Every structure is written in structure tokens, then in C-alpha cells.
Chain A
């Protein structure tokens, strides 16, 4: 129902949810004897107060952009891909294999190749659950979460065996220097001032922005996006229109898996510069929250990813400088997810009422179909 104007839908609802989550977090912080206001200030200054903080915030945000987009595109087709974690892990394997075994003269070519490798591996990992859903009706939620475990095991095996570098660690050797992506420090520091010193934010952030734009085009401007959304709204109507469910399920999941896999450009090539165990660190799951909060819209996902990047980095600062344990940060993040995702209607319903009461007196009767009313 269009009871709320679009702008309220996309700004007011998430903002109010956020404020509620923050208020509840403040109570929790108070309860453990810390000062919530000081905590907030520390989070803001730690995450956004310096280019150093921004460097981390943006790095985390980049991860979440990719996993958030991955969940969003699947959501558009009403597929719930919670396998972003596994797809990103396997995407990392793709990146590692490309960068370790192919020679690259320049990072730009390496970026294109590793992006392709990451997308291909991530998509391949999403393909099996997709085809099982399309052909056999195996529920995508079950299969994708199972594939997360399989991916973790596969990476374990690869990193202690076939692609392990000599030494104690279960990791690959470092990628060649020519494949190193430009970091924000490289790009934005001037001769006199070093900005973003030592932070992992790198050029992948701009790839992420590009991905947002391309995905927006795909969803709202192409026939594929049109079919995908149609299928997401109503499978029976899609069948009537001659839209193949198999095609939509598989294609949406391939794009989704590919995007999740592409997160690996950021964390594997951009940050670690080698493949380590558990490289994804839960970003795949955060992607679900990001997509929920961003209402599966690329712009929303971008903003939500920044917010979660802020929470991540600010949370790390809190844990470092105060007595607030790191676990509490997870609580705060969980509250944000709870309010923006699960309790969405709690905010939405009262807000709709407010807008409804503002809209009276009603517009000319919409129900009237009588073409030529009483003479």
C-alpha cells in the first residue's frame, strides 16, 4: 500500500529504527556501568574522527557493500541467500588461485582477473543450491547455509594442504607485488601529509560503488531485472507472463553468489594480500542485515554498509579504550539488525497511521469505476 510517501519509507523508517536501537544500546551500556554518551563519542571519533578511522570504516563497509548487494539481488527474486559467507570464502579461493598462478604485469589487469575469478567461484558456489531449488524444490535457505559449512571445510583443506605456503600458518604465500591494489593511503596522501596511514581501505571501495550502480541499472532498468522483480512479487503471475522460474532462480543466485565472491577482492587481494583461514569473518551474515536495512535497494545497501562499517570500527575502538567488551558491540549490532529487520513493522505501522491522518480529507474516490455515473 502506498500510504507513506516514498521518501518517508526509505529514510524515516530506518532512521527511527536506528534511534530506537541506539536508545536500547544506551540502556545496556548504562546497565554495565559505562557512560553511553562517552561511548558514542568514542565510537564516532574512533570511526569517523580521522582518516585512520575512516580507512577502517570504509574497508569494512566495502565488504558489506558486496555481501549486502548479494543478498539484495536474491531478495528481489524472493530468494533468501544466506550463503554469502560461503560464497565469499570460495570467492577468496578464486582470487588466490588467479593471483598465485597467473602472472600479472600491473595491478589493474590483476584486479580485473581477480574480480572475474572471485565472481566465478562465488557464483559457482551459489549454483548448486540454486539448481537444487529450481529443479527439486530444496529450500534455498537450508542448502545455502549448508554450503557455508562445506565452503569452510573446503578452505580448511586447501589451506592446510594443496595451496598452503611453507611455514607454520594455514595460509597461502603472499601474492606477487605487481598485484597489490592501491590503498587509500597510496591514492590520497600528498607529499606533505600521509592520509589513511596503514589502513586497509583500498580501490575496491570504488569497485563497490560501481557495483551498486550496475546493480541498480540491472534491477530497475533491464528486462532481466523486471522479470526478476516480477518473479519475486508473484511466481504465479511470472509463469503466466512466460517468465521461466528456473531461469530467474538460477540467474539471480548466480549474480548473488558472484557479488558475494567479489568481496574477496577487498579482503583477500586488497587487505591480506594472501588467503588466510576464515578470511570473511562473518561479513556474509552482516550482508543480510545490510540488505534488510537497505531495503534491498543499492543506494540503501550502500548507506547501510557504511553504517555497519562505522559500527564495526567504532566497536573495535570501544573495546580497545573502554571497559565495554567487544561482545557488547555485537549486541549493539544485533539490536540494529533487530530493529531495522525483524521489528520493521513496529516502526512502520504507527508511522503509516501518522501519514494517513495527515492525508485526510481523502482524495477523489479511488474506488469509483463506474465510467459514466448517474446522469
Chain B
């Protein structure tokens, strides 16, 4: 019987009172793709950080290839043949691919021999695993998919036999993700061991051989992928049955609430971020914007939310809104009935060091009901917060707790409660369930649909195609600052949208969609020039 490539025995790790990992046991067999799935905060990343030497486990042992190994730092992990590809790449933007691969693994004080050796090895690796990248491109000039390949090459160059990938598809189009999976399959056939951390059930089902489920710091199950189902995995993750689909009625469309015409944004570096955007949203309608992160969706939200200047015209309920100058700030937008759940709640939507009650007033702190003469009426805000927390089931329902002490899902509920309860005409929602656990996802989706049913217009931006398809009444796809097309969810599928997300406008009518996707995949090796 073969020894497992990696075996963890009884790993425990606590951060203060939070038990991030509790007595974790796992065996990863060589030459397999092993998925680790769990909600955000389930402890997946902590476990991998222990394996990679970032954290020291409080208890437990690590065996690599059957040998007990101590991994005090990442150097030791690399020496043990473990490579890691992080969710956020660790590349030097203004270095070439080659320089990035060599960085930290130079053979001598002089660079030349190392670079030459790396160039040879890179070529070999590229041929072996379909990992084609131009070694002389600057990182800043290549697409995200290619950057990820550089990260994989870095690990392989350092002799990794075991490759850990942390949420690798978060930034990829479906086509790029498929390509990545083909690379991983190739690596597996060569005998490499791959650990894939993800919260996407589909990826687990598609590519892994074995899957381990984590929940609240514990390993709840390890099963053969072929012997399980998405529903079972979801239940193991959450600890109860979950609805994977949202039940919603057909929309009752009203008048046009938002009308965007020829919207253009050029940023401070002169990059054209939004190119002639035209869109309309009606009362009682959810318009979903699909697209890979960084293709202009954020800028669109920022313009509508009032913190990015633009040219063009935006009409809200048949009255124009200012796109430049003093009338184009967030305060004016709120007065006009635009509420905004921003994409990044920790950077934008909340002040992490503010109490929950201070956050509930955030952006609306000029409201008359929150003021008492010259001062703020803190008592009124607190009462309002307690009320909102109850209705949105924020846990714990303590207005005095600072925002950072709530979990991702509860932070999002605070933001949602604040924005939805304003009874806005238009609600902007960016990545409503990013970093939110499944239990809260359901609740958040229900709230958005409920607001739609009250006849509000909703602009939903999400990089999760499943979420877009499940919630939207109409879908627009953005690529490189443009809207590539609009579709009705019932009349499209992930493949077609994925094509649009990759910037293919000329939807083939003469041939089936999957064929076009395959053709696209053939080109996926070369940079697509997408700005990141």
C-alpha cells in the first residue's frame, strides 16, 4: 500500500478564543486531486497555512510521504516539496515572468546563469503541462489566468510534488477555469498531488477524486467524489439541508427607474474603464451584471454610488443625476433614493472599528431622525439598530459590538439592513454573498428578491455566475468596460455567458455554443490583453 503524500494527524489551532482548526485528520494520496470544501471561516485556509508553514499548529503532526515533518516556515514547506498558489497572487508586477519564477530561488549571486536555467526549465514545463507563458512578458501586461499559471510554474520550478491551490477560480472566466483544470489533470497524470481549496461545489464535482468537508474548524467528512452529490456536500458543509435554488415568482415590471446612456469613465491613468454603457432597469426588476472581476463592474457601481466621476447621462425616475461636481457625491445619491451595498463591505460598506450602531447610520448620518439639535441622536440610532438587527437576524444582536467582531455574513446583513430599510428606488448590490456562509446567503438572496417584489429596481453585480443566473430577471455581461450583451436567464446558460465574459461578441448562430467555447479554449493560452 502506498504512503499518503500528505497526512495530517490531530492538527489543532486556536486564535484567541476562536478554534480555527480542531483535531483535523486528513490523508491525501499521491497522484490524486483532493478537494477541501467548506464555508468561509470553516478553517480551510488556516489548515493550509499550517501545512505551508505560515502558522504553527498548537497540536498535531504532519507527515509528508510517510515521513514526519516539521514545517516551521515556507522554506521548509518548499524543501518538503509543497508548493502553494495563493488566492491573491504574490508576483512582482514590474518583473518579467522569468524574473518572478527565479525570485527567491536564485542559484548564485549572479542572475544570468539562474535566468538561463529557468528559461530552459520553463520551456520544458510549458511543453509538458500545457503551461504556456511568454517568459519575457511583464506580469502587469498579462491576464489573470496567465498570472496564475506563473504562480503554478513558480511552485513547479521549486520542485513541488504537492501543489495547494487556494480558491483558484475566483478570478477566472469559466473558460480559463476549464483550462486550469486541464492543467491540473495533466499534473495529476504526471504523478503530482493536488489539493484544491474551494467553496464551489461544481468545481469539486468536476475535478476532484476525493473531497474533504470542513465545518466550523472540524473535518466533518472525507468521501470519494464519485460517491457523493452536491446536495450531500452542501449539507455536510452547513450541517443542514439547504436550498440551492431561489424560489421567486415572475417579475412584475413597472416604469423605467434607471436609464443609463453612453456612460464613459476614464481613470486618473487615462485608462478607459467604462465604454459607452447603456442600460435600463425597471421597477420590480433585478438586472444582473455578470463578468470577471475588473472589467468595469466596480466602476459602474462607483459612478452610480457617487464616488467616481463620469460622462454621459444617467436618469433616475426621469430626472437626471449629476455625474461630476458637488452634486455627484454619495450624499446626493442617497437623497435621490439610490442605496448601495458595496462590493467590498470591509473596505467601503463598513467602518470596521465602528460599533454596529455607528455603522447603521453610516452614509445616512445627516438624516433628521438621527439628529438632536447640533448633536447626533445616538440613542435613536441605537434603538434603530437594535430594531434592524432583530429583523435581519444579525447575530449577536448587540449594537455596541464593533463591526469587525461580526462574521462576514452578519456584517453583510448589517449593510443590507441599513440600505434596504431606506426604502430606496434603486438598490445597487455588489457581490452580495462574497465571503458569506451558505446559511446567510439564502437569507440575503431572499431579502433582495423581496425588495424586487416591492417594485424596486435592483442592479446586481456578481462574479458568481450561479448567483447571477439564480437572482436576475435579466443579465448583462461586461467585458473590458463594455456591455457585451443582454440575455434572459431562462434563455441562456453558463457556457454562453462565459463566452461573453471572455469578450466574444460574435455569438455563433451557425454552430453550437460548446464548439465556440472549445475554440476559445484553444486561444486561451495567449494573453487576452485584459486589464486587471
Interface residues of A (CB under 8 A from B): 1-3, 217, 221-223, 226-227, 229-230, 233-234, 236-237, 239-244, 356, 359-360, 362-375
Is A240 in contact with B305, judged by CB distance below 8 angstroms?
yes
Residue pair B365, A226 in contact (C-beta under 8 Å):
yes
Query: Would A369 and B376 be within 8 Å (CB), given that A2-B402, A230-B351 are in contact?
Result: no
- The answer to whether B395 touches A369 (Cβ under 8 A) is yes
B307 to chain A: which residues have CB within 8 Å? 239-240, 242
Q: Does B456 contact A (CB under 8 A)?
A: no
Which of B350, B374, B378 interacts with A237 by CB under 8 Å? B350
Q: Which residues of A contact B376 (CB under 8 A)?
A: 221-223, 226
For this complex, 5 residue pairs linking A to B, each with C-beta atoms less than 8 Å apart, are A236-B347, A239-B307, A360-B17, A367-B407, A370-B440
Assess whether B405 is in contact with A356, with CB atoms less than 8 Å apart.
Answer: no
Q: Considering only CB atoms, which chain A residue lies closest to B238 in the complex?
A: A370
- With A233-B352, A240-B307 known as contacts, the answer to whether A359 contacts B17 (CB < 8 A) is yes
Knowing A242-B331, A374-B240, the reply to whether A223 touches B365 (Cβ < 8 A) is yes
In the bound complex, CA of A239 to CA of B363 (Å): 9
Q: In the bound complex, do residue A233 and residue B348 qualify as a contact, i.e. CB atoms below 8 Å apart? A: no
Contact residue among B361, B401, B404, B437 (Cβ-Cβ distance under 8 Å from A369): B437
* Pick from B16, B333, B436, B443: contact of A356, CB under 8 Å: B16
B365 and A236 contact, CB distance less than 8 A: no
B31 at the binding interface (Cβ < 8 Å): no
In the complex, chain B residues whose CB is within 8 Å of the CB of A221: 375-376, 378
Instruction: Tell me the complex Cα distance, A243–B332, Å.
Output: 11
* Chain A residues within an 8 Å CB radius of B404: 1
Asked if A240 meets B363 with Cβ closer than 8 Å, knowing A356-B16, A366-B405, A370-B437, the reply is yes
Q: Report chain A residues within 8 Å CB of B362.
A: 230, 237, 241
What is the CB-to-nearest-CB distance from B368 to chain A, in angstroms, rounded to a whole number? 12
A237:B365 contact, CB within 8 angstroms = no
Interface size counted on chain B using CB atoms at 8 A: 57
B residues neighboring A (CB under 8 Å)? 16-18, 41, 216, 238-240, 305-307, 329-334, 340, 342, 344, 347-354, 358, 361-363, 365-366, 371, 374-376, 378, 393, 395-396, 401-402, 404-410, 413, 436-437, 439-440, 443
Quick one: given A240-B330, A360-B17, A369-B439, are A234 and B239 in contact (CB under 8 Å)? no
A237 touches B439 (CB 8 A): no
Query: How distant is the Cα of A294 from the Cα of B510 in the complex, in angstroms?
Result: 73
In the assembled complex, the CB of A350 is this many whole angstroms from the nearest CB of chain B, namely 14
Chain A residue, CB-CB nearest to B393? A371
Question: Within 8 Å CB of B437, what residues of A?
Answer: 369-370
CA A105 to CA B438, docked complex, whole Å: 74
Complex: how many Å from CA A365 to CA B396? 9
B residues within 8 A CB of A375? 240
Would you call B407 and A373 a contact (CB within 8 A)?
Answer: no
Contact pick for A366, options B239, B333, B340, B396, CB 8 Å: B396
- Selected from A3, A223, A233, A363, the residue in CB contact (under 8 A) with B351 is A233
CB–CB A242/B329 < 8 A: yes
Cβ-defined contact, A237 with B375, below 8 A: no
- A366 to B409 CA separation, bound complex (whole angstroms): 12
Residues of B within 8 A of A241 (CB): 330-331, 362-363, 365
**Cβ contact within 8 Å between A367 and B238:** no
Taking CB atoms, residues of chain B closer than 8 Å to A371 are 393, 395, 439-440, 443
Q: Which residues of B contact A366 (CB under 8 A)?
A: 395-396, 405-407
10 closest residue pairs by CB, A with B = A242-B330, A370-B439, A242-B331, A369-B409, A362-B17, A241-B363, A240-B348, A374-B240, A221-B375, A242-B329
Q: Most chain-B CB neighbours within 10 Å: which of A230, A236, A242, A371? A: A242
15 further contact pairs, Cβ within 8 A, besides A222-B375, A244-B329? A217-B375, A227-B365, A234-B351, A236-B344, A236-B347, A237-B350, A241-B363, A242-B329, A242-B330, A242-B332, A242-B333, A360-B17, A371-B395, A373-B239, A375-B240
Q: B407 contacts which chain A residues (CB < 8 A)? A: 366-369
Residues of A within 8 A of B363 (CB): 240-242
When the two chains form their complex, are residues B395 and A2 in contact, meaning their CB atoms are under 8 A apart? Answer: no
Report the minimum CB–CB distance from B213 to chain A (whole Å). Answer: 15
Contact A240 B18 (CB under 8 A): no
Task: Tell whether, in the assembled complex, residue A239 and residue B330 are in contact, meaning their CB atoms are under 8 Å apart.
Answer: yes
- Give, as a whole number of angstroms, the nearest-CB distance from B512 to chain A: 42
Q: Considering the chains assembled together, what is the distance between the CA atoms of A372 and B409 in angstroms?
A: 14
| Cα–Cα distance between A217 and B373 once the two chains are bound (Å) | 13
Which of A237, A239, A372 has the most chain B CB atoms closer than 10 A to its own CB? A237
Bound: A371/B238 CA distance, A:
11
Residues of A within 8 A of B348 (CB): 234, 236-237, 239-240
Report the minimal beta-carbon distance from A224 to chain B, rounded to whole angstroms: 10
CA distance A375 to B239 in the complex (A): 10
Most chain A C-beta atoms within 10 Å of own C-beta, residue among B333, B363, B440:
B363
Which of A239, A367, A368 has the most chain B CB atoms closer than 10 A to its own CB? A367
Provide the bound-state CA to CA distance between A1 and B307, in Å. Answer: 29
User: Taking CB as reference atom, which chain B residue is nearest A355?
Assistant: B16
Whether A3 lies near B18 (C-beta < 8 A) is no
A373 touches B342 (CB 8 A): no
Q: Which residues of B contact A239 (CB under 8 A)?
A: 307, 330, 348
Q: Which of B41, B348, B361, B366 is the most central at the interface, judged by chain A CB atoms within 10 Å of its CB?
A: B348
Q: Which residues of B contact A374 (CB under 8 A)?
A: 239-240
Report B-chain residues with C-beta under 8 Å of the C-beta of A363.
17
> How distant is the Cα of A223 from the Cα of B368 in the complex, in angstroms?
11
Given A230-B362, A370-B439, A371-B439, A240–B353 Cβ distance below 8 Å? no
Chain B residues whose CB sits within 8 angstroms of the CB of A362 once the complex forms: 17-18
State the CA gap A368–B443 with chains docked (Å): 14
Q: List A contacts of B306 (CB < 8 A).
A: 242
What is the bound-complex CA distance between A200 and B363, given in angstroms? Answer: 47
Indicate the member of B349, B362, B443 with the most A CB atoms within 10 Å. Answer: B362
Closest-CB distance, A199 to chain B (whole angstroms)? 37
B441 to chain A minimum Cβ distance, whole angstroms, is: 10
State which of A1, A244, A369 has its C-beta within 8 Å of the C-beta of B410.
A369
CA distance A226 to B366 in the complex (A): 10
Residue of A nearest to B436 (CB): A369
**Within the complex, what minimum Cβ distance (angstroms) separates B170 from chain A?**
21
The CA of A371 and the CA of B407, in the complex, are separated in Å by 12
A236 / chain B contacts, CB cutoff of 8 Å: 344, 347-348
Contacts of B439 in A (CB 8 A): 369-373
- Residues from chain B with a CB closer than 8 A to the CB of A356 are 16-17
Output the least CB separation between B247 and chain A (Å): 17
**Nearest CB in chain A: distance from B119 CB, A:** 41
Nearest CB of B to A98, in Å: 28
Contact B371 A223 (CB under 8 A): yes
User: Which one, A226, A242, A244, A373, contacts B358 given CB within 8 A?
Assistant: A226
A contact residues around B375 at 8 Å (CB): 217, 221-222
Q: A352's closest neighbor in chain B, by CB?
A: B16
Which of chain B's residues have a CB closer than 8 A to the CB of A242? Answer: 306-307, 329-334, 363
Point out the residues of chain A lying under 8 angstroms from B329, CB to CB: 242, 244
B358's closest neighbor in chain A, by CB? A226
CA distance A58 to B404 in the complex (A): 41
